[in-house]
Amino acid sequence: MKKLLFIASVLLLVTQACVTSRSLSKKGTKLEEAGQYTAAADMYYQSIKKNPRNTNALIGMNRTGQRVLADYLQVFSKYALAEDYKRATYAYIDAITYQQKIKEINIDLKIPPKHEDKYEEVKLAYISNLYEDGLKFISLEEFTKAEENFNEVYKFSQNYKDVAELRNIAFLEPFYRKAERLKDEKQYRESYNIYAKILDRVGNYKETRDHQEYVLRKGQIPIALSSVKTGRYRAYAKSFKQYVLSAIMDINDPFIRIVDRDDIDKVLQEQDLALSGRVNSDQQVEVGEIAGAKYAVVFDVPSYGIVERPLRKRSKPAFEQYTEKYYDKAEGKTSYKTLYRKKTYSLYSAFRKVTMSISYRIISLSTGEVMGTDIITKAYESEVLYAVYSGNKSRLYPSNDGHVSTSRSEYNSLQRLFKGNRKLASREELTAEIYQISSKLTAEKIVKKFQ
């Protein structure tokens, strides 16, 4: 029975679709009889979309579609005769677009060969005029107008003369000139970014790659990273320096170059002498040149603390649920009742927290000037809290003032304890967390200082 109802439903839907298609086809016929061919063609088109096998709609679409296409071609011919090559070109494209639309419903409308030949002639005249005007705009250094012309030519014929190269010139030349001006003004980073845009467009343009490498060399900032060599927490400062080095590398700013040389410590030692006044200004420049660094960033860890509570075990009261069978005289049958018996479970807890303060100074190696300082304090902690019970954990309920608590929220809280965290993060792991987060923040601040 269900199968028959399903088949009937499908047939009803098909019938409704056919009725809709037929009604659209009939409207198309009436419109066609009234001489409204464009509207009729649209009705036939919709009819076929509803039912691709509607014969009357297919025949009507063929008939009216060809007339609509002829109207498009008539517009094309009018503009072609008037030598309005742009409008003629786009009128023909409209005809092609309509032809392709109707082809989607498997009806192939025909364009006479004479129109195809005329279109090629018109299109050639159109792009030829565009090309010549583009050359004029280039000579007048009106690059935006030139680019518009060459892009239009390129759209119709990518291999037309040297249009591919000319459209690049029209697009790139204003950028190139701006980059060159910024280079002369020693705005190396801005110039570098514009050269990068040019290289993204083409492989190279007027030796752009060489110019980009030049401004990078001129504008690149060599920075030495170091850490204090004295103090209780100097080992932490040294480790943090390595994290910052990695974070700066991840930022990948081409204008930041990290100097990694064995004599950095010597540079900083001699710089300390400069800061104390025992090295003259000429010698200060030499100090910076030892490792090729212009600036140094010195890291220190002024404070490091740990608070921890070792793992401890406590016995906690609870109640285990169970059922007991009894004979109910009033009902005259055996029944069951829920009871609770006292039990204990073990609660384990531990805690560890690491707090660290990190500072850094940015120093000019040529002048000894402290250009920036900052201090970051971070803390990370880890807690162990879980319960262990040798019996059936799902039947264990918490105790509240010596009485069983059947509160759903309190029961759930106890059950979560059996799945609680059992691993206490080590001091090294918590310290590494501080390094990880603080180094990213520090690296961003350092890089931003030099941008």
> What DSSP string runs through 364-412?
ETTT--EEEEEEEEEEEEEEEEEEE-SS-GGGEEEEETTEE---HHHHH
Range of the domain at 270: 242-449
Whether residue 89 is found in the same domain as residue 134: no
* Integer Cα distance of 168 and 146 in angstroms: 10
CA atoms within 13 A on the CB side of 346: 8
Which amino acid is it at 32?
E
Reduced to 3 states (helix: H, G, I; strand: E, B; else coil), residue 318 is: strand
Whether residue 36 is found in the same domain as residue 183: no
pLDDT of residue 293: 83
Asked if the structure places residue 121 within a domain, the reply is no
Residue 65 · residue 94 · CB < 8 Å: no
Reported residue count of the chain is 451
Whether residue 290 is found in the same domain as residue 339: yes
Q: Which two tokens stand for residue 185?
A: 């003004």
Whether residue 301 is found in the same domain as residue 210: no
DSSP 9-41: HHHHHHHHHHHHHHHHHHHHHHHHHTT-HHHHH
pLDDT of residue 19: 54
Whether residue 263 is found in the same domain as residue 160: no
pTM of structure: 0.67
Whether residue 428 is found in the same domain as residue 385: yes
Asked if the structure places residue 118 within a domain, the reply is no
Total domains, the chain: 3
Whether residue 265 is found in the same domain as residue 142: no
Asked if the structure places residue 56 within a domain, the reply is yes
Q: Which secondary-structure segment (H or E) carries 154? A: helix 143-156
Asked if the structure places residue 3 within a domain, the reply is no
Asked if the structure places residue 317 within a domain, the reply is yes
Reduced to 3 states (helix: H, G, I; strand: E, B; else coil), residue 3 is: helix
* Integer Cα distance of 424 and 435 in angstroms: 19
The closest of 37, 129, 42 to 89, measured between CA atoms, is 129
Asked if the structure places residue 5 within a domain, the reply is no
Whether residue 445 is found in the same domain as residue 333: yes
Examine the fold and report which residue of 76, 111, 146 is the final residue of a domain before the chain moves on. 111
Whether residue 334 is found in the same domain as residue 427: yes
- Taking the chain (451 residues) in runs of 10, the rounded mean pLDDT of each run is 45 50 93 93 94 94 95 96 96 96 95 95 97 96 96 96 94 95 96 94 88 95 91 94 95 90 52 45 40 86 96 97 88 89 97 97 90 94 97 96 95 97 96 96 94 88
Alpha-carbon separation of residue 121 from 80, 81, 155, 255 (angstroms): 9, 12, 16, 54
pLDDT of residue 271: 53
- Total Cβ atoms within 10 A of residue 237: 22
Q: What is the CATH number of the domain that holds 200?
A: 1.25.40
Examine the fold and report which residue of 156, 186, 219 is the final residue of a domain before the chain moves on. 219
Whether residue 181 is found in the same domain as residue 309: no
Examine the fold and report which residue of 219, 252, 287 is the final residue of a domain before the chain moves on. 219
Asked if the structure places residue 337 within a domain, the reply is yes
Whether residue 247 is found in the same domain as residue 199: no
Alpha-carbon separation of residue 326 from 269, 330, 333, 335, 342 (angstroms): 90, 12, 9, 6, 21
Asked if the structure places residue 229 within a domain, the reply is no
Whether residue 400 is found in the same domain as residue 306: yes
